[in-house]
Copies of this chain bind each other. A is one copy, B any other.
Amino acid sequence: LARELGRAVLPRLRRQARLHVSGCAKSCALDGRAEVTLVWDAEGCKLGLDQSVSEATKTAPTTLEAARARLAGLPAQRDYERDGAAIYRRSFAIIRAEAELERFSPIEERVAVRLIHASGMVELSRDIEFSPGFAEAAVRALKAGAPILCDTKMLPAGVTRPRLPSNNEVLCFLDDPRVPELAAEQNTTRSAAALSLWREKLDGALVAVGNAPTALFRLLEILDETPVRPAAVIGVPVGFVGAAESKEALLADGRVPCMIVRGRKGGSAMAVAAINALASDKE
Protein backbone atom coordinates (compact mmCIF):
# COMPACT_ATOMS: atom_id res chain seq x y z
CA LEU A 1 0.00 0.00 0.00
CA ALA A 2 2.76 2.46 0.94
CA ARG A 3 4.46 1.68 -2.32
CA GLU A 4 1.24 2.25 -4.28
CA LEU A 5 0.62 5.55 -2.50
CA GLY A 6 4.26 6.44 -3.11
CA ARG A 7 3.71 5.95 -6.81
CA ALA A 8 0.57 8.13 -6.61
CA VAL A 9 2.38 10.92 -4.78
CA LEU A 10 5.59 11.04 -6.80
CA PRO A 11 4.27 13.05 -9.76
CA ARG A 12 2.97 15.62 -7.30
CA LEU A 13 6.25 16.21 -5.54
CA ARG A 14 8.48 19.10 -6.53
CA ARG A 15 12.07 18.11 -7.15
CA GLN A 16 14.10 17.94 -3.98
CA ALA A 17 10.94 17.71 -1.87
CA ARG A 18 11.16 15.13 0.93
CA LEU A 19 8.93 12.08 0.81
CA HIS A 20 8.99 9.94 3.93
CA VAL A 21 7.51 6.47 3.70
CA SER A 22 7.52 4.53 6.97
CA GLY A 23 6.23 1.07 7.81
CA CYS A 24 6.31 1.59 11.57
CA ALA A 25 5.94 4.33 14.14
CA LYS A 26 9.48 3.77 15.39
CA SER A 27 10.75 5.85 12.55
CA CYS A 28 14.11 4.19 12.09
CA ALA A 29 15.08 6.96 9.72
CA LEU A 30 15.38 10.62 10.61
CA ASP A 31 12.15 12.01 12.09
CA GLY A 32 12.30 15.43 10.38
CA ARG A 33 9.33 16.99 8.64
CA ALA A 34 8.74 16.10 5.03
CA GLU A 35 6.35 17.52 2.46
CA VAL A 36 4.56 14.17 2.37
CA THR A 37 4.83 11.44 5.01
CA LEU A 38 3.19 8.07 4.54
CA VAL A 39 2.94 5.84 7.61
CA TRP A 40 1.54 2.31 7.57
CA ASP A 41 1.06 1.09 11.13
CA ALA A 42 -1.33 -1.12 13.09
CA GLU A 43 -4.19 1.42 12.72
CA GLY A 44 -3.80 1.57 8.94
CA CYS A 45 -2.53 4.04 6.35
CA LYS A 46 -1.78 7.58 7.51
CA LEU A 47 -0.98 10.53 5.28
CA GLY A 48 0.84 13.54 6.74
CA LEU A 49 1.48 16.71 4.80
CA ASP A 50 4.40 18.77 6.07
CA GLN A 51 4.64 16.56 9.18
CA SER A 52 7.27 14.37 10.76
CA VAL A 53 6.69 10.60 11.02
CA SER A 54 5.82 10.91 14.71
CA GLU A 55 3.31 13.67 13.94
CA ALA A 56 1.85 11.76 10.99
CA THR A 57 1.47 8.68 13.17
CA LYS A 58 -1.00 10.61 15.34
CA THR A 59 -3.26 11.48 12.39
CA ALA A 60 -6.34 9.42 11.66
CA PRO A 61 -5.94 6.44 9.39
CA THR A 62 -7.26 6.86 5.91
CA THR A 63 -8.26 4.71 2.99
CA LEU A 64 -6.16 4.48 -0.11
CA GLU A 65 -8.86 6.34 -2.05
CA ALA A 66 -9.03 9.18 0.47
CA ALA A 67 -5.23 9.48 0.52
CA ARG A 68 -5.16 9.50 -3.26
CA ALA A 69 -7.85 12.21 -3.39
CA ARG A 70 -5.93 14.33 -0.90
CA LEU A 71 -2.72 13.96 -2.88
CA ALA A 72 -4.57 14.90 -6.05
CA GLY A 73 -5.35 18.23 -4.38
CA LEU A 74 -1.67 19.05 -4.00
CA PRO A 75 -0.16 21.25 -6.70
CA ALA A 76 1.14 18.97 -9.41
CA GLN A 77 4.82 19.11 -10.22
CA ARG A 78 5.26 20.72 -13.57
CA ASP A 79 7.15 18.53 -15.94
CA TYR A 80 9.86 20.58 -17.58
CA GLU A 81 13.60 20.45 -18.07
CA ARG A 82 15.36 22.36 -15.28
CA ASP A 83 18.96 21.50 -16.16
CA GLY A 84 20.45 24.48 -17.99
CA ALA A 85 23.24 22.45 -19.61
CA ALA A 86 20.75 19.81 -20.79
CA ILE A 87 18.50 22.55 -22.24
CA TYR A 88 21.45 23.90 -24.26
CA ARG A 89 22.44 20.42 -25.45
CA ARG A 90 18.91 19.50 -26.53
CA SER A 91 18.33 22.91 -28.15
CA PHE A 92 21.51 22.71 -30.20
CA ALA A 93 20.75 19.09 -31.19
CA ILE A 94 17.28 20.12 -32.44
CA ILE A 95 18.77 23.04 -34.38
CA ARG A 96 21.44 20.84 -36.00
CA ALA A 97 18.80 18.26 -36.93
CA GLU A 98 16.39 20.79 -38.46
CA ALA A 99 18.45 23.65 -39.92
CA GLU A 100 20.34 23.73 -43.20
CA LEU A 101 23.89 24.41 -42.08
CA GLU A 102 25.95 22.58 -44.71
CA ARG A 103 27.25 25.69 -46.47
CA PHE A 104 28.94 27.07 -43.34
CA SER A 105 32.50 26.52 -42.08
CA PRO A 106 32.76 25.09 -38.54
CA ILE A 107 33.11 28.53 -36.89
CA GLU A 108 30.36 30.00 -39.07
CA GLU A 109 28.13 27.06 -38.15
CA ARG A 110 28.71 27.81 -34.46
CA VAL A 111 27.56 31.40 -35.05
CA ALA A 112 24.57 30.35 -37.15
CA VAL A 113 23.43 27.82 -34.53
CA ARG A 114 23.46 30.49 -31.82
CA LEU A 115 21.58 32.97 -34.00
CA ILE A 116 18.93 30.33 -34.61
CA HIS A 117 18.88 29.51 -30.90
CA ALA A 118 18.34 33.18 -30.01
CA SER A 119 15.54 33.63 -32.52
CA GLY A 120 13.75 30.28 -32.40
CA MET A 121 13.85 30.10 -36.20
CA VAL A 122 15.70 27.27 -37.97
CA GLU A 123 14.79 28.84 -41.32
CA LEU A 124 17.02 31.81 -40.40
CA SER A 125 20.06 29.86 -41.69
CA ARG A 126 19.05 30.75 -45.24
CA ASP A 127 19.37 34.49 -44.50
CA ILE A 128 22.75 34.42 -42.75
CA GLU A 129 25.71 35.55 -44.87
CA PHE A 130 29.37 35.67 -43.91
CA SER A 131 32.03 37.46 -45.91
CA PRO A 132 35.17 35.34 -46.45
CA GLY A 133 37.36 35.28 -43.36
CA PHE A 134 34.86 37.08 -41.14
CA ALA A 135 34.67 34.46 -38.39
CA GLU A 136 38.45 33.99 -38.23
CA ALA A 137 39.05 37.76 -38.13
CA ALA A 138 36.50 38.25 -35.36
CA VAL A 139 37.86 35.39 -33.25
CA ARG A 140 41.43 36.62 -33.71
CA ALA A 141 40.48 40.17 -32.72
CA LEU A 142 38.67 39.02 -29.58
CA LYS A 143 41.61 36.84 -28.53
CA ALA A 144 43.91 39.84 -29.08
CA GLY A 145 41.76 41.88 -26.68
CA ALA A 146 39.82 43.99 -29.18
CA PRO A 147 36.92 46.01 -27.76
CA ILE A 148 33.37 45.23 -28.90
CA LEU A 149 31.60 48.40 -30.06
CA CYS A 150 27.79 48.18 -29.91
CA ASP A 151 24.96 50.34 -31.19
CA THR A 152 22.57 49.50 -28.36
CA LYS A 153 22.79 48.97 -24.62
CA MET A 154 21.06 45.60 -24.87
CA LEU A 155 24.27 44.17 -26.34
CA PRO A 156 26.61 44.85 -23.39
CA ALA A 157 23.77 43.60 -21.15
CA GLY A 158 23.49 40.36 -23.10
CA VAL A 159 27.10 39.35 -23.71
CA THR A 160 28.19 36.50 -21.43
CA ARG A 161 31.33 37.98 -19.90
CA PRO A 162 33.01 34.70 -18.85
CA ARG A 163 32.97 33.64 -22.54
CA LEU A 164 35.15 36.61 -23.59
CA PRO A 165 38.75 35.43 -24.18
CA SER A 166 40.52 38.63 -23.04
CA ASN A 167 38.07 40.28 -20.69
CA ASN A 168 37.27 42.48 -23.70
CA GLU A 169 35.50 45.82 -23.23
CA VAL A 170 31.89 45.78 -24.48
CA LEU A 171 31.01 49.41 -25.14
CA CYS A 172 27.91 51.39 -26.11
CA PHE A 173 28.06 55.19 -26.19
CA LEU A 174 24.34 55.80 -26.81
CA ASP A 175 23.86 57.26 -23.33
CA ASP A 176 26.93 59.50 -23.51
CA PRO A 177 25.84 63.07 -22.72
CA ARG A 178 27.48 64.35 -25.93
CA VAL A 179 25.26 62.20 -28.17
CA PRO A 180 22.09 64.37 -28.40
CA GLU A 181 24.15 67.38 -29.49
CA LEU A 182 26.12 65.31 -32.01
CA ALA A 183 22.85 63.96 -33.43
CA ALA A 184 21.48 67.49 -33.85
CA GLU A 185 24.72 68.72 -35.45
CA GLN A 186 24.92 65.76 -37.84
CA ASN A 187 21.18 65.83 -38.49
CA THR A 188 20.94 62.09 -37.87
CA THR A 189 19.80 59.55 -35.29
CA ARG A 190 21.39 59.24 -31.86
CA SER A 191 22.49 55.71 -32.81
CA ALA A 192 24.44 57.00 -35.82
CA ALA A 193 25.80 60.04 -34.01
CA ALA A 194 27.16 57.83 -31.21
CA LEU A 195 29.66 56.39 -33.72
CA SER A 196 31.55 59.68 -33.56
CA LEU A 197 32.57 58.54 -30.07
CA TRP A 198 33.88 55.18 -31.38
CA ARG A 199 36.71 56.75 -33.36
CA GLU A 200 39.66 56.10 -31.09
CA LYS A 201 38.49 52.54 -30.32
CA LEU A 202 37.39 51.58 -33.84
CA ASP A 203 40.67 50.47 -35.40
CA GLY A 204 40.83 46.67 -35.00
CA ALA A 205 37.60 46.49 -32.99
CA LEU A 206 34.72 44.05 -33.34
CA VAL A 207 31.67 46.12 -34.29
CA ALA A 208 28.16 44.84 -33.51
CA VAL A 209 25.12 46.64 -34.90
CA GLY A 210 21.94 44.94 -33.71
CA ASN A 211 19.38 47.67 -33.93
CA ALA A 212 19.90 50.78 -36.04
CA PRO A 213 20.37 50.73 -39.84
CA THR A 214 21.58 54.34 -39.54
CA ALA A 215 24.50 53.15 -37.38
CA LEU A 216 25.54 50.68 -40.07
CA PHE A 217 25.26 53.32 -42.84
CA ARG A 218 27.25 55.74 -40.69
CA LEU A 219 29.96 53.10 -40.24
CA LEU A 220 30.27 52.80 -44.02
CA GLU A 221 30.63 56.60 -44.24
CA ILE A 222 33.42 56.47 -41.65
CA LEU A 223 35.17 53.87 -43.84
CA ASP A 224 34.78 56.37 -46.72
CA GLU A 225 36.19 59.24 -44.69
CA THR A 226 39.01 57.66 -42.70
CA PRO A 227 41.59 54.89 -43.08
CA VAL A 228 40.45 53.34 -39.76
CA ARG A 229 39.23 49.74 -40.15
CA PRO A 230 37.48 47.54 -37.59
CA ALA A 231 38.63 43.90 -37.53
CA ALA A 232 35.12 42.61 -38.28
CA VAL A 233 31.50 43.78 -38.30
CA ILE A 234 28.39 41.96 -37.10
CA GLY A 235 25.66 43.76 -39.07
CA VAL A 236 22.22 42.59 -38.00
CA PRO A 237 20.01 45.66 -37.61
CA VAL A 238 16.29 44.86 -37.70
CA GLY A 239 13.28 46.52 -39.25
CA PHE A 240 11.39 47.99 -42.12
CA VAL A 241 13.23 51.20 -43.09
CA GLY A 242 16.85 50.82 -44.19
CA ALA A 243 17.68 47.57 -42.38
CA ALA A 244 17.84 45.30 -45.44
CA GLU A 245 19.54 48.02 -47.49
CA SER A 246 22.19 48.78 -44.85
CA LYS A 247 23.09 45.10 -44.52
CA GLU A 248 23.36 44.54 -48.27
CA ALA A 249 25.53 47.69 -48.51
CA LEU A 250 27.85 46.33 -45.81
CA LEU A 251 28.17 42.92 -47.47
CA ALA A 252 28.76 44.48 -50.90
CA ASP A 253 31.26 46.98 -49.49
CA GLY A 254 34.05 44.46 -49.01
CA ARG A 255 36.39 46.71 -47.03
CA VAL A 256 35.86 44.89 -43.72
CA PRO A 257 35.00 41.25 -42.99
CA CYS A 258 31.36 41.08 -41.97
CA MET A 259 28.32 38.95 -41.30
CA ILE A 260 24.71 39.92 -41.93
CA VAL A 261 21.19 38.52 -41.74
CA ARG A 262 19.52 39.36 -45.03
CA GLY A 263 16.20 41.19 -45.08
CA ARG A 264 14.19 42.71 -42.26
CA LYS A 265 15.07 40.21 -39.53
CA GLY A 266 17.82 40.89 -37.04
CA GLY A 267 18.02 42.50 -33.64
CA SER A 268 20.01 42.77 -30.48
CA ALA A 269 19.41 39.15 -29.43
CA MET A 270 21.00 37.97 -32.70
CA ALA A 271 23.93 40.36 -32.29
CA VAL A 272 24.49 39.07 -28.76
CA ALA A 273 24.27 35.48 -29.98
CA ALA A 274 26.91 36.15 -32.64
CA ILE A 275 29.27 37.78 -30.12
CA ASN A 276 28.80 34.93 -27.63
CA ALA A 277 29.45 32.36 -30.38
CA LEU A 278 32.62 34.09 -31.59
CA ALA A 279 33.91 34.67 -28.06
CA SER A 280 34.25 31.00 -27.13
CA ASP A 281 34.00 27.58 -28.77
CA LYS A 282 32.25 26.26 -25.65
CA GLU A 283 28.63 25.27 -26.32
The interface of chain A, by Cβ under 8 A from chain B, is 14-16, 75, 78, 80-84, 87, 90-91, 94-95, 117-121, 152-154, 156-158, 185-190, 192, 213-214, 217, 220-221, 224-225, 238-243, 245-246, 249, 263-269, 272
Contacts and interface: CB of A to CB of B under 8 A. Distances in A.
Query: How many identical subunits does the complex contain?
Result: 2
Contacts of A268: 154, 158, 268-269
A152 to B, nearest CB: 7
Given A120-B266, A154-B268, 6 more contacts: A80-B242, A80-B246, A87-B189, A87-B241, A118-B238, A267-B269
A242 B157 contact: no
B119 A238 contact: yes
CB-based closest 4 A-B pairs: A120-B264, A157-B157, A75-B224, A82-B188
A157 B264 CA distance: 23
A277 to B, nearest CB: 15
24 contacts: A78-B220, A80-B214, A82-B188, A84-B214, A87-B189, A87-B242, A90-B240, A117-B239, A118-B267, A119-B238, A120-B238, A120-B240, A120-B243, A120-B264, A120-B266, A120-B267, A152-B158, A154-B154, A154-B157, A154-B268, A154-B269, A154-B272, A156-B157, A267-B269
Given A16-B187, A87-B189, A121 B81 contact: no
A185 B17 CA distance: 11
A84 B272 CA distance: 23
Contacts of A154: 154, 157-158, 268-269, 272
A118 B118 CA distance: 14
Contacts of A87: 189, 214, 239, 241-242
Contact of A157 (B153, B221, B238, B246): B153
Given A75-B225, A80-B214, A264 B16 contact: no
A221 B90 contact: no
Contacts of A120: 238-240, 243, 263-267
Contacts of A15: 186-188
Contact of A78 (B84, B119, B221, B264): B221
A260 B139 CA distance: 36
Given A157-B156, A220-B78, A263-B120, A240 B95 contact: yes
A16 to B, nearest CB: 5
A82 B214 contact: yes
